[in-house]
Chains A and B, each alone.
Chain A
Amino acid sequence: MKHLTAGRLGAVLLASLGVLVVCLAIGLVTGPSGISPGAALDALLHPAESGALADIVWRIRVPRLLLAAGVGASLAVAGVIFQALLRNPLADPFILGVSGGAALGGISVLVLGTWIGVGAGAAPLAAFAGAIGTTLLLYGMAAVRGRVSATQLLLTGVVFNAFASAGIVFLASIAGLADGSRIFLWLIGNLSAARTDMGIVVGVFLVVGLGVALSLARGLNLLALGDEAAAQLGMAVERQKKILLLATSLMVGAAVSVSGLVGFVGLIVPHLLRLVLGPDHRLLVPASALLGAAFLVLCDTLARSLLGGRELPVGAITALVGGPLFLVLLRRNSDRSFTA
């Protein structure tokens, strides 16, 4: 009988970590300034002796890599959790409307900021405020009589996302050309304009979200059987669902505030790993964190380097790479893994 052992978990984590390190290394030596891999490594390891090179590596590339890794890990873990929480393999981190709230908050400041005397630099903070506001709204709407119902959550999220889109369209239509292109970049997901100090916020909420997901990973397995069965197997269902919902929403909110709506990471990474590793969340959660980070680091490296000096929005890369890959997987495995 196959079952999860510490050895298997260790092997999976080690392999995932290896992939992440390789992706980080590729990202480190790739860039428009034409630094050789050897020089980049040297600057990384001995910053004091490398002068201007160390500046590029330590001030530009490393923060960008860490940001991409943090956002990728957050979105992938959030995808795993929402898929389990909603018992829906098609759920992604944006499905509950937290992203819509963040987008509305951030874009409001982008467009209206000059009128109320706030610079565009405040957009990430406003986006995070929007995410928190939406999370509270979700709670208020969905937690009827102490129970968090998946259907209520989904409906609230879908409706709120539609509402937020309408608000964004309205703001975009009154915005000038410059703001309009910023909004576009934000909606498709983009790391080039990210404030690296917001990376700390992403990191903090990633650690919290990951900690919650790891400690409740067995509960995520039980939730697949349904709320009733999970309770009958000893899980404090409502309490754990509320904790998961809160931690995940904040994690998504922080990631979206920095990068905008980077699609496909939260959908495709969990699916891919479920195909390879099976659905046990004790494996799936940590592996998603590491490989979600690796996936976005790789996509962001492509976004930075494909067009030479000009950057592509990373969200376009994740969708271009992720979309076809997802369809292939879906077709190849339609007989078992995606439908129960």
Chain B
Amino acid sequence: MSLQLRNVALRLGEQTVLRDVSLELAPGEVVGLLGRNGAGKTSLLRLASGTWLPDAGDVLFEGRALSDFPRSLLAQKIAVVPQDLHVPFPFRVGEVVLMGRGPYQRWLGFESSHDIECAQRALERMGILHLADRRIPELSGGERQLVLIARALAQEPDCLLLDEPTAFLDLEHRIRVLEVVRELVASGASALLVSHDLSLAARCCERLLLLADGRVAAEGAPGEVLRADTLRRVLGFSATVIEGPDGLPLVVPELGRKDSVERGA
């Protein structure tokens, strides 16, 4: 197993955000994390990256507790793509992507030619090499998202955690991002993908995990999880789920029919 969360629980103040959640990521696997706003997806990602510690349960990477890893080693293994990027100072795109090489650098060191190469390849892979010398505050939301993914790629991680990486992207770039994730996984990494785009997640992920009120509400292959009754019960909307030409489920929401009769998948 690459990443394992075993019966984790998390409380923030009075509120229990996650309870008894278990999740395993195998090498070569993309798992999709679905759920409503506030269901605990981002919190789960923070536990999975070792940013927060769980109040109960264990988080292990390759069998070893995350808290046992030095931070820089952990950042060589696990990369996080956060929802957005805000900097108070006008860093350039290239500089931010090179920060992804930070875990490999010594305290005072300059970037090596290998670091530069890695950053350049990551920018190229995301199709934003031409933005390398632009300043972050000048970018659009979608461009910032591509920069964050490039930074994570520059980390050369074994495990990639993505928090709605395609929220601000056009469809072409959404597809590109998911292709990049698939490529990384094909070379032996694993990935956890938070997404609200159910049909796209079904095409990118081996397994889906549906989170509701801090618990796992459903888990399994896309076809098992994306069922009209489950969607209505857990995500709170009515939809018709049909089978796409690729044999995977397509979710077609029904507008203005909140109380419509359930239809089978």
Contact = CB atoms under 8 A, between A and B. Distances in A.
B150 to A, nearest CB: 11
Contacts of A3: 94-95, 98, 111, 116
B173 interface: no
B103 A2 contact: no
Contact of A236 (B71, B105, B129, B133): B71
A83 to B, nearest CB: 8
Contacts of B75: 232-234
Interface string B71-90: 11111101110100111111
A226 B99 CA distance: 13
Contact of A226 (B79, B86, B109): B86
A278 B92 contact: yes
A218 B107 CA distance: 7
A235 interface: yes
Contact of B99 (A83, A233, A236, A336): A233
Given A233-B99, A233-B103, A1 B116 contact: yes
Contacts of A194: none
Nearest to A235: B71
A4 B133 contact: no
Interface string A87-119: 111000000000000000000000000000000
A5 B110 contact: yes
A198 interface: no
Given A234-B75, A234-B102, A229 B82 contact: yes
A240 to B, nearest CB: 10
Q: Which of B87, B103, B138 has the most CB of A within 10 A?
A: B87
B82 A336 contact: no
A1 B82 CA distance: 24
B89 A89 contact: yes
Contacts of B138: 336
Interface in A207-261: 214-218, 221-222, 224-226, 228-229, 231-236
Contact of A1 (B51, B90, B123, B137): B123
Main secondary structure of the interface of A (DSSP, over half): loop
Interface string B132-159: 1101111000000000000000010000
Contacts of B192: none
A215 B71 contact: no
Contact of A279 (B51, B89, B109, B155): B89
Given A216-B107, A222-B102, A234 B91 contact: no
A4 B132 CA distance: 14
A222 B51 CA distance: 15
Contacts of B137: 336, 339-340
Contacts of A274: 89-90
Given A225-B85, A340-B86, A218 B94 contact: no
Q: Which of A234, A274, A280 has the most CB of B within 10 A?
A: A234
Contacts of B44: none
Nearest to B86: A340
Q: Which of B73, B110, B111 has the most CB of A within 10 A?
A: B110
Nearest to A231: B51
A48 interface: no
B126 to A, nearest CB: 14
Contacts of B107: 215-216, 218
B5 to A, nearest CB: 17
A337 B92 CA distance: 11
B88 A340 contact: yes
Nearest to B101: A233
Nearest to B133: A2
16 contacts: A1-B119, A9-B110, A84-B89, A88-B88, A218-B102, A218-B108, A225-B87, A232-B80, A233-B100, A235-B72, A235-B102, A280-B91, A282-B108, A336-B138, A340-B86, A340-B136
Interface of B: 46, 49, 51, 71-76, 78-80, 82, 85-92, 94-96, 98-100, 102-103, 105, 107-111, 116, 119-120, 123, 129, 132-133, 135-138, 155
Given A232-B75, A274-B90, 6 more contacts: A218-B107, A221-B99, A235-B102, A280-B91, A336-B138, A340-B87
